[in-house]
Amino acid sequence: MEPRNAIVTGASHGIGPYIARALAARQMNMLLVARSGAELARLAAELGGAVKVSAAAIDLGGPQAARQVADAAAAELGSVDVLVNNAATEPQTRFHVLTPPEIEHVLQVDLISPLLLARLLLPGMLERGYGRIVNVSSLAGHTSFPHTEAYAAAKDGLTAFSRVLHSDYRRTGVSATSLILGPVKDAGVSARTLAETGLTASTAFSVSPHKVAAATVRAIDKPKPEMVVSVGPARVLKALMDYFPRLGPRLNRLSGADKLMTAVADHREAARTTPARLTTPSPYNPVAPSARRPWPASGEPPQPAESRSARGSGGLGVPGRARAGNDGTYRPA
């Protein structure tokens, strides 16, 4: 079967537009999902024409986000053949600084919403005898990349989910693939972080976003439980770091990743709306400041600084636009 309809989350920023363009080149109709209505509108206008491209400004951090996306897809596409769970948020902050609501937000965006969306779309895929679920994951947990505890936990969860679902449904025409990414140059979270902080880092070990988009197409055509997208013998390096868990931290120290991410974490924490609770001194915080309220008085946690799913809400000024209502329902504009 030739897939015709696809959902791409986190479509407005980073590698999302590259994935969307690759699927449009395959003549797939798409529902593009992200928080940023303006960026989605521009991308939808760019890709529309030979294929139908609709957009839904939905924050995957909301508890009803998966249902909102599924409802938008039903209204705009009808059936869904391909789901690309690309949206993610990565605070790049020391774990003890993050508030519980911020950690929950990372898990909601990076793991819970993708799983729930896959669950909502799976019955239709099984009924039609075809479906592809592509989950964009990360090497962060395998390399013990600094200050990514919540992010790495969520991404490793996506990889485990892909493996099990791929096995359980292997005879149904439905598959799941985890794209395990290393650093992505020019378009990924790493590039935006460097631009924001003014820091510099080598991109010698980074892959291009075009390579990620091509891997997404391969996962649709020839699905595997997981595909490592990185520079060099990626699968061998991943296996070595899994077998020798101290190897990743050593490589981080030798490559300068430890120092770089310490600087990034310092930048993030200095820019927080209100300082977080640091009650225990650490090598990076030798003097712990007094405990203060970790988020605004409204009770709402501040939005994480880095996300492949862009900020935004409401309807879009393009055909096929969509927005999520305050009651959690999908409403065509």
Q: Is residue 281 part of a domain?
A: no
What is the tens place of the pLDDT at every residue in 48-103?
Answer: 888 999 999 999 999 999 999 999 999 999 999 999 999 999 999 999 999 999 99
Q: Is residue 296 part of a domain?
A: no
Contact 284, 220 (CB under 8 A): no
Q: Is residue 128 part of a domain?
A: yes
Cα 298 from chain centre? 27
Q: In what order do the strands lie in the sheet with 322-324?
A: 226-229, 174-181, 131-138, 82-85, 5-9, 29-34, 53-57, 322-324, 330-332
Q: Model-level pTM?
A: 0.80
Q: Is residue 271 part of a domain?
A: no
Give me the number of domains the chain comprises: 1
Identity (one letter) of the amino acid at 34? A
Q: Is residue 279 part of a domain?
A: no
What is the tens place of the pLDDT at every residue in 146-178?
Answer: 999 999 999 999 999 999 999 999 999 999 999
18 is catalytic: no
CA gap 205, 144 in Å, rounded = 16
Q: Is residue 242 part of a domain?
A: yes
What is the tens place of the pLDDT at every residue in 102-115?
Answer: 999 999 999 999 99
Choice among 151, 169, 243, 330 that is catalytic:
151
Q: Is residue 78 part of a domain?
A: yes
- CATH code of residue 79: 3.40.50.720
Q: Is residue 9 part of a domain?
A: yes
E-assigned strands of 65-158?
A: 82-85, 131-138
> Domain span at residue 195?
5-266+305-332
Question: Which of 233-247, 300-314, 316-330 is predicted least confidently?
Answer: 300-314
